[in-house]
Amino acid sequence: MSDTKVLKLVRKTKAEIAESNAASAEKRAQVQPQRPAAVATASQPATQPTRPVQPIPQPISPQARPLEQRQQRKGEGRDRADRRERPRPSPEEMLKVYRTMYLSRRLDDKEIQLKNQNKIFFQISGAGHEAILVAAGMVLKPGYDWFYPYYRDRALCLQLGMTPLEQLLSAVAAAKDPNSHGRQMPSHWGHKKLNIVSQSSPTGTQLLQAVGCAEAGYRFKLIKELRKRSSNFQKDEVVYVSLGDGTSSEGEFWEALNTACNLKLPVLFLLEDNGYAISVPVEVQTAGGDVSRLIKNFPNLYLQRCDGTDALESLEVMKRAVQYCREGKGPSFVHAKVIRPYSHSLSDDERLYRPDEERTADAERDPVKRFGALLMDERVIDQDGIQKIKDEIDAAVNEAADQALLSPQPGPETVKLYVYSPDIDPTSKDFDTEESAQLSGNAGTMVDLINRCLHTEMARDPRVIVFGEDVADCSREQFLDKVKGKGGVFKVTANLQRKFGSARVFNSPLAEANIVGRAVGMATRGLKPVVEIQFFDYIWPAMHQIRNELAVMRWRSGGEWKSPVVIRVPVGGYLKGGAVYHSQSGVSTFTQIPGLRVVYPSNALDANGLLRTAIRCDDPVMFLEHKHLYRQAYNKSQYPPDDFMVPFGKAKTVREGNDLSIITYGALVQRSLVAARQAEQQGINVEVIDLRSLQPYDWNAITATVKKTNKVIVAHEDSLSFGYGAEIAARIADELFEHLDAPVRRVAAMDTFVAYAPQLEGTILPQSSDVAKAIAELKAY
């Protein structure tokens, strides 16, 4: 449809709505009837059972509105008639808006053309969202504010300063692509210079990270030791995060809103509502078909709605939303109604589920055409001028595409770059102070030495913050002098809040994704979160954040971004009463995730040194603490100095032997030692290796012990099938086969769940007797 036809449609609609409003006002003066459910309205025609076709929203005078609408709560914005009285952008600014909107659309079209020519491999467009996104980019500051966009946000990134060539470099997977250096799909935005944080594919995971990003600024202001270090923090910075209407169904959406409102964080949430999540219409996704109605009672939230295809209305709404955040009043939420004139992606065909009349109605609200028509109507530019702009942009896009297609692809030798930090190696000698460590004081438990490490590291580095469920001594600080304090369900974080304050040690909502997602955002800004998941058994709600965000942030951005978070997790069984949901030990789920370090101490001294390494290294670390080992007398230790560290990937020989080897970790270390002492009475000399670190693990130590004894048992608490020991056994069989005098044996838990009854738990989990039996059988082989 031409720009002129769109202009005529707009004029016609104005007249019709004005006439309708006048008639409605006259009726309301007589009586205020209830609307029958079956009567067709502008938003829901009676003959249309699927998502309604909406006309172009137009200004309505305040007098024509029902009284209850005129008395809307403050957070829902002002009348459009009032907005139109405000000064408009200058003609030059309006032309810049049009240029960016049209450029965004032409880049979508160019990528579609390249995909059809098999020159790129994927395409997902931002068509129909351009007006609200350009408006957002105009009122926010690149390199000053922070941005967590989603895949429709092409126009925003252009407005912030990303070039057409940079976006097309992403489409062709070029090595110089600033978004991901060829590692992610196109439209997965990221730009270090502009503060656009690397985006991923899972919908909604960016929301909690944006909250964490804003919370980092909040905590920098509270922590006095950091105030002079905050070079990349601004007093009135805003964190932008966007989502589609389908994403509002995700639990992390609600978790993000909850924390942003609770802490009054300067987060600007932009809901780009095009009415569809691929093929699922909004009324199927959302109760009532309108998420704004569901969130309107969140405290401190400035809620506004707008026609996101109207650039000027969008600009006014975004100005107010950003101002609210900059003034420190809390988060803003803008619900922008937009369109999706193209299919979800080139892998989708919307004609299969959207009728022609609905798609035509969307086309009539096309923001690029509407704004072009407005420019001509207000004599900012004429048709020839519009065409000249189009020709210039078309030529620039074609030139950028040609350059992108000639840009080199990343080399095969780069695939392992940035899986882990290239700058800090936690397996190096820099992290090995074991031999020279002087121990002192009374012996402490694993809980005591972990707690001491947290105290010393928080004193050393004010960037270290601790949070999770129940980790604080008392959230209501006024009662701190009246209570003993919680300090975690196992007392591991006791007295940290008392010592370092509530800005650095605090409780989180009971929501694991909230904990990890916020930590990812904070770590991106330079803080060092050491968070706790209360029980390993409940870590699964955070799996998206751990697997798809935390572990992959550095790699997917080609080293541009990182999130070195430490996740402390109580794990394991042998509790007598832990049962199904307090005794899990599925470590192999995490050790197979590239980018994630996994360590598992068996004693108090190792726990202290490994945790210090975890905090000081530059990678995300999962620090597993076996609950059964927390207060055992046999693994106590005197206290090491404050610089004591155990490097990752360095196993420890806890018992020398010559007849066979046991490779183990965690609670099975002690059980293996008990079995080894029993075997010695039968003349069998057993060597026991404590891995201590599971990812990475010490292959050199494994190789040495296998070559020494020629027989090996791998023992662990995890289930036998697909457990961690299967990888060790397979690699030994593959690389050390000629040194074996017997098959590799495994001792592990049964392939079932841990039961509550003690006799059942004892049967399910591996015991010293199981290890002793395996020793005898392997010796006799």
Kindly state the average pLDDT of the residues 586-599.
96
Kindly state the average pLDDT of the residues 531-545.
97
Q: Which residues lie across from 268 on neighbouring strands?
A: 240, 332
Which contiguous run of DSSP H or E holds residue 272? strand 267-273
- 289 neighbors 283 (Cβ within 8 angstroms): yes
Instruction: State both tokens at 276.
Output: 């569809």
d(CA 400, CA 467): 47
Q: With bands split at pLDDT 50, 70 and 90, how would you rate the model's confidence at 228?
A: confident
Q: What is the DSSP string of 518-562?
A: HHHHHHHTT-EEEEE-S-GGG-GGGHIIIIIIITTHHHHTTTS--
Kindly state the average pLDDT of the residues 337-366.
93
Out of 188, 335, 582, 626, the active site residue is 582
Kindly state the average pLDDT of the residues 476-481.
93
Nearest to 341 by CA among 366, 308, 306: 366
User: What pLDDT score does 710 carry?
Assistant: 98
pLDDT in tens, 44-60: 333 333 333 333 333 33
What percent of the chain stands above pLDDT 70? 89
Q: With bands split at pLDDT 50, 70 and 90, how would you rate the model's confidence at 87?
A: low
Number of other residues whose CB lies within 10 A of the CB of residue 346: 17
Categorise residue 379: left if φ over 0, alpha if ψ from -120 to 50, beta otherwise: left
User: What pLDDT score does 231 carry?
Assistant: 76
d(CA 105, CA 103): 5
Q: Which residues lie across from 487 on neighbouring strands?
A: none
Q: With bands split at pLDDT 50, 70 and 90, how would you rate the model's confidence at 300?
A: very high
d(CA 149, CA 194): 12
d(CA 452, CA 607): 11
Active site residue 582: yes
Nearest to 369 by CA among 773, 2, 768: 2
What percent of the chain stands above pLDDT 90? 86
Higher pLDDT, residue 691 or 30: 691
- 649 neighbors 643 (Cβ within 8 angstroms): no
Nearest to 333 by CA among 237, 249, 243, 250: 243
pLDDT in tens, 256-286: 999 999 999 999 999 999 999 999 999 999 9
d(CA 363, CA 72): 31
pTM: 0.88
Higher pLDDT, residue 497 or 232: 497
Residue count (the chain): 781
Kindly state the average pLDDT of the residues 32-55.
33
The chain-wide mean pLDDT, for the chain, equals: 90
pLDDT in tens, 711-761: 999 999 999 999 999 999 999 999 999 999 999 999 999 999 999 999 999
Q: With bands split at pLDDT 50, 70 and 90, how would you rate the model's confidence at 229?
A: confident
Query: Would the pLDDT of 64 be above 50?
Result: no
Instruction: State both tokens at 343.
Output: 């299919």
Q: With bands split at pLDDT 50, 70 and 90, how would you rate the model's confidence at 23?
A: very low
Specify the range with the lowest mean pLDDT, choosing from 8-12, 269-273, 481-485: 8-12
User: What pLDDT score does 14 carry?
Assistant: 42
Pairing of strands 280-281, 276-277: antiparallel
Nearest to 607 by CA among 476, 450, 775, 780: 450
Which contiguous run of DSSP H or E holds residue 371? helix 367-377
Report cis status (omega within 30 of 0) of the bond before 266.
Answer: no
Number of other residues whose CB lies within 10 A of the CB of residue 741: 11
- 338 neighbors 310 (Cβ within 8 angstroms): no
Cα atoms in the Cβ-side hemisphere of radius 13 Å centred on 8: 5
Residue at 659: amino acid letter: D
User: What pLDDT score does 86 carry?
Assistant: 58
Query: Would the pLDDT of 648 be above 90?
Result: yes
Query: Would the pLDDT of 242 be above 60?
Result: yes
Kindly state the average pLDDT of the residues 388-393.
97
Nearest to 268 by CA among 245, 242, 300, 248: 242
Helix (H, G, I), strand (E, B) or coil at 613: helix
User: What pLDDT score does 42 carry?
Assistant: 29
- 302 neighbors 330 (Cβ within 8 angstroms): yes
Query: Would the pLDDT of 9 be above 50?
Result: no
